[in-house]
Amino acid sequence: MHNAKVVHKNRLKQILSELKSSKKKIVFTNGCFDIIHIGHVRYLNEAKKFGDILVVGLNSDNSVSRIKPGRPVTPEDQRAEVLSALSMVDYVTPFNEDTPYELIKTLKPDVLVKGADWDVKNIVGNDIVKEVRNIPFVEGISTTKIIKKIQGKK
């Protein structure tokens, strides 16, 4: 399936360059987004408020499995399609590395956003992007907790 919002980083670099020249502010965040839940939706809504265009760097299946053994539950193409269906998300671009550092270097967004569990000085790419923001998490909600509930574990 072709999806105009799911774009390879090289093509996205061109698109973002054109958007920046028309004074659009580019916001970047990243993650696995394995099982989309209300925490993800609220997080992405908040991230979008920091600019005009929201780009989501999506960990590839290989990247997720290195970071979170036994995951992802949902394959990369499906995770990308679900994310791209969310109204606040403008572009999704998968990356294969453990961190989005090279992707951030390529795309050069204006704002970098991560969850409040990240100290700003430890956010990957904070040396590249001018503005770095934290967004608080929705308490008690995570993909891991959803998986444990499905498995009948506490």
What is the tens place of the pLDDT at every residue in 66-95? 988 889 999 999 999 999 999 999 999 999
Q: Is residue 1 part of a domain?
A: no
Confidence at residue 3, expressed as pLDDT on a 0 to 100 scale: 84
pTM for this entry:
0.91
Are 26 and 52 in contact, with CB atoms under 8 Å apart? Answer: yes
Question: Average pLDDT, stretch 29-52?
Answer: 94
**Cα(127)–Cα(136) distance, integer angstroms:** 22
Residues 127-142 pLDDT 10s: 999 999 999 877 777 7
Say what the pLDDT of residue 136 is: 83
CATH number at residue 115: 3.40.50.620
Q: Which amino acid is at 133?
A: R
Domain, as residue range, for 40: 9-150
In a domain, 100, yes or no: yes
- Residue 4 resides in a domain: no
Q: What share of the chain is helix, strand, coil (3-state, %, to 5)?
A: 40, 20, 45
Residue 3 lies in a domain: no
Number of domains in the chain: 1
